[in-house]
Amino acid sequence: MRFLVLGPVRILARAGEPVGSSIQRQLVSLLLSRAGRPVPAEVLADELWPGEGAPLPRLQTQVHRLRKVLDDPERIEHEQGTYRLRPRPGEHDAERFERLHGDGLQALAANDPQTARDLLREAVELWRGPAYADVDLPSVRAEAARLDELRVDTLEAMYDAELATGSTPTAELKRLTEEHPLRERFAAQLMITLHQGDRQAEALAVYQQTRDRLVAELGVEPGRELRRIQSSILAEEPPVLGVQPVVVPQQVPPGVERLYGRDAELAVLDEALAPAPKDSTEPGVVIVTGPAGVGKTTLALHWAHLVRDRFPDGRLYVDLHGYSAGEPSEPATVIGRLLRDLGVPDQRIPATADERSALLRSLTARRRMLIVLDNVRDTAQVKTLLPGPGPVVVITGRTRLTGLAARHRVHRLELAELDESSAVALLGRRLPANGTVQGGTEALTEIAAICGRLPLALTLAAEKVERGPDHLAGLLDDLRDERGRLDELAPPDDPDADVRVVLSWSYRALPKDAWPSRLFPLLALCPDSVFRVPAVAALGAVSEREARLALDTLCSVNLLRSPEPRTYQVHDLVRLYAAELLTELGPNERAAASDRLGDWYARSAENARRAIQPFNPVLSDRSGVPGVVATEFGDLDAALGWFDQERESLGRLLPRLVADGNDQAVVQLAVATAVHLNRRSSPAEAVQVLTLAAAAAERLGDRAAEASIANRLGNSQSRAADYPGAIRSLERAVRLFAGLEDRFREAIAEGNLGLVLRLMGDPEAAATHQARSLELHEVSGTANDQAVTLNNLAMAYLDLGRTDEAVTAARRAVEIHAEAGDRDFEGYAADTLATAYAARGEYDDALRWFERSLEIARDSGDRWIEADSLRNLGLVLRDAGRAAEARTVLARALWLLDDLDAPDNAKLSRSEITQVLRTL
């Protein structure tokens, strides 16, 4: 059979002939609009016969008649006062349409426009008119509006694909712009097709007409995309549609196969699917609240899977750690993660929370997306995480989030304990179908009562019940013997304690004195809920093999889970229980474990830093904590990968180390982390962690560390375009190193100070400091150190017009760095040498050395340096009269800077590159 709703509703038999009466088509529409979910009989009756008091007998008669029409009466399921219609694969045109829509977007994201066009056109061709065109029922109208809007989105994506394949569907786009005059995407597509047909005047007229409508009807100007296309046409440049890769995240963790006793709550969640008013500026928000263990997360995940097809743009999931042993997640950190999940690279994620929140709203606006914000602590934690209008947001937490509800349009859902029959059914479902149980239902009823009918406690108990009928009696005996703990299972004044007893069953199942039971409380010291084998080995002062075996044992009793090999995750409630057990250990044991973990992170980070900067001086060679084996890194990629993997843990650990007074670890960890942040073009974050390190070094009274950190801080401030701050930090570093009579590091700081002064437009002062740096290096440093300063001095000579001296200094720097194997600085010096040759008009030599500099920058992964070299190369190509090549190179440099979202500074500026491009 076929069920058609994309137009007038039709039920087609296998031979293709329509079947069913008008009332039967309305009944089918109600069932299909709920996407295979059960619909209460009262709801169906009220919709079909409004104002008649839900005549259930009439409904039953119509269901009976409909079953006769269908080829299989079992298609309509009846259970606990609800009805459900389950079309088979390919029978429901709306389901097929949404699947084709999603597949088409995936193909477009995978840069396969031809496949995307074919899939999306097939989806559009399923339509015969407005959805549910001849059915006028309230809940069906909401679903029809959603489908109609999705059809327009599909048309937009289809014509994106058409244009990407070289087609110019001008006539079709003209019709669509007339039908949807406020949809800027259609206008942009039409402008491009007209321009491709040498009809620039008409293309510009489309822009003006669209702008006039937007201003007149909405009071807004056209968006950036439409303005950019107009500017390209005016500049006689080919306009390009900014088709962005479509990121369709599917992050919702697996849910339960069946949910017990929550039909009413699922219906409330369904209400969030109703389209918002056209003038709405907010997402649809559902707040799910209740005590710990009541099943907030289980409900949210189960519903998220039921309505997966309603969210073709993806489903995001974040655990905010609102109630956990560790600190709640910071909103800015969470937004950063959401932006990464939506395809935003680290370099383009803004520094401030407000800017990140604004970008999140822009990226999610008008997208059919579900966002689950789980385990929220309070309104302050979540209010900046709300997306733009379009997505549906489900928030779970223990508090009512009154402040959020006061500011936004929300659906509120408060969960209570399960009723007795549902709790017993949940427990009994885990028993073998043919099993017999001593005491039968009475035993299950008693277990449900002892668990307080809380779903989390019931689920954990059901894991024990699942072992079989013979274990049930023993489980019940255990529960009766633990009277003190059972009282704590659901205390009315302490919801945090709801699952202590159930967790203790799993914990007590471990051999009392075995290593897994001793490790479990220590896991509360891990800075994040996700941790890996090497960190746990350091935590317990054991080998990695022993750590892995213990973690696997904890997984076997469901205290942990392993999402991927050698990586483990602890749920927040389990983590809370571990933290309580941790307090039972002696203070010396806790402090020792914390010191080992901090030492492992600090020394592993330093090892990673050395792999990234093999020629950079070591800050300190402090001895490690006994029993801790820091991770070593064989190459640059491994070191960068480790930093990327541990980024959240490092961010959480540093403030805790400060609070614990572990200043030596703070210094080492912060310095190493800053190197990675600078490499990933996050200088503002690097400044933050180095500021922590500076304060820690001062508390230690370690003048050498203070000096070194001041030098590094100045470099990061310079990258962040904070030149006054950089000057202050570097001048302090020079003074401190001079006072320590550390000529080697004084030379480095002098050189860095000269670099900043050069960026500030003072080449004379820059040359003076570089000359001082070279003088110091000649008596204290290696040839490679002298080469660094020679390169810096060459740049100052260039600014002063002393090109011959610049070539000599830069050439010698390249030779020394190449001989030493210092690839990073060889690349820097090659760039300077190329610039010096260009200044003398020797363009062939300049181009050869620029190519060398670019090769090294790309090998090292330093994209900021790559952009700098491309900018310099582009200017030389311009001066050499090779305008076409210059345009290509400078456009690449500009794209890199945009992708990095690096701040403009005196050395590398988007506006300068843009101005040069306009002259070519």
Q: pLDDT by residue (tens digit) across 790-819?
A: 999 999 999 999 999 999 999 999 999 999
> Where do you find CATH 1.25.40.10 in the chain?
168-235, 806-919
CA distance 458 to 425: 10
Does CATH number 3.10.580.20 belong to domain 499-585? no
> Where do you find CATH 1.10.10.10 in the chain?
2-148, 499-585
**pLDDT tens digit sequence for 750-770:** 999 999 998 898 999 999 999
Give yes or no for residue 6 having a pLDDT over 90. Answer: yes
Give yes or no for residue 463 having a pLDDT over 70. Answer: no
Domain 262-414, CATH homologous superfamily name and number: P-loop containing nucleotide triphosphate hydrolases (3.40.50.300)
CA distance 373 to 393: 7
Q: Which residue has the higher pLDDT, 622 or 230?
A: 230
Strand ranges in 489-550 using DSSP code E only, listed in sequence order: 530-532
**Which pTM value belongs to this model?**
0.49
**pLDDT tens digit sequence for 820-832:** 988 888 998 999 9
Given this structure, which CATH class describes domain 806-919?
mainly alpha
Assign domain 2-148 to its CATH architecture: Orthogonal Bundle (1.10)
**pLDDT tens digit sequence for 823-872:** 888 998 999 999 999 999 999 999 999 989 988 888 877 777 788 888 88
- Amino acid 669: pLDDT: 92
> Where do you find CATH 3.40.50.300 in the chain?
262-414
User: Does residue 290 contact residue 278 with C-beta atoms inside 8 Å?
Assistant: no
CA dihedral 160, 161, 163, 166 (to 10 degrees): 170
Q: Which residue has the higher pLDDT, 347 or 182?
A: 182
- Amino acid 246: pLDDT: 54
Most confident of 126-140, 510-524, 568-582: 126-140
In terms of Cβ atoms closer than 10 Å to its own Cβ (0-12, 13-18, 19+), residue 372 is buried
Given this structure, which CATH class describes domain 168-235?
mainly alpha
CA distance 134 to 879: 69
User: Does residue 867 contact residue 902 with C-beta atoms inside 8 Å?
Assistant: yes
Nearest CA among 141, 143, 151, 37 for reference residue 98: 151
For residue 394, list its beta bridge partners: 286, 372
Give percent of the chain above pLDDT 70. 88
